Structure 1
């Protein structure tokens, strides 16, 4: 399913859904962040996705990281909560989703970065490499907040 990001776009379609979603900021022993290249829009992003029924939100973070990136993590904190109403995602099936995403901080447990149906490439990325990748501004904000190691979660 195709996905189009609208960010601060006055001509964006009006949202018709909100889904509880997560992203996960996890670093390796060298301080690099785990990123995936999404198959639905080609952008680089933190692993993540929507919460399933019967699942604690931290379980969503662990499951999505395993499914999209092949890496096992343990949730250790919250980077931030991202709810910008000027960021909507339009899907080819007619859904237009207003952003609602909790970005968790995770600790690497095991596994090797492995692509999936949702990720064409998965790798550990150094902070100095971020500007060379195509990353949506909303996702880059989460990554930057993760690297900052903020004492309090971002709420916005």
Structure 2
């Protein structure tokens, strides 16, 4: 009998303010800049998970607009479901999971983030959802 592959499912939110700046965090555990997100819990929908993760990591309340992309790290089997969101309330603050929280421009996102994470944000700024695979570094096109 063949074993069933196991994947970890994560969610992330690309929150865009009216001025076009994007909410990002610098993680405490590895220092990487990313869109806020994390592992989806068993008893929540994708959208509930995105809202929870953004609040936990930034102190900001958001509303989900639409699915912007699905990404799979082929090396470690993590599937990330990414949503475009908009700001509702709150002041960005650091948390147990984030050492810095900032509103960046798209150019700043490209400068600070690894390609596998920057592409999630840049894809969310376009009109069409995208699905991509990567190995942690090299990202395949939509």
Q: TM-score, normalised by structure 1?
A: 0.77
* Secondary structure at the counterpart of residue 92 of structure 2: coil
CA RMSD of aligned residues (A): 1.5
Distance in 1 between the 2:109 and 2:84 partners?
Answer: 18
Moved over 6 A (4+): none
1:37 is matched with 26
Query: How many matched pairs?
Result: 128
Q: 1:54 to 1:108 in 2, by over 3 A?
A: same
Matched, 1:48 2:27: no
SS in 2 for 1:100: strand
Q: How far does residue 131 in structure 1 lie from its aligned partner after superposition?
A: 4.0
Higher relative contact order (CA 8 A, sep 6+): 1
Unaligned ranges ≥5, structure 1:
1-15, 89-97
Name 2:15's counterpart in structure 1.
26
TM-score (normalised: structure 2): 0.84
Q: Is the partner of 1:65 in helix, strand or coil?
A: helix
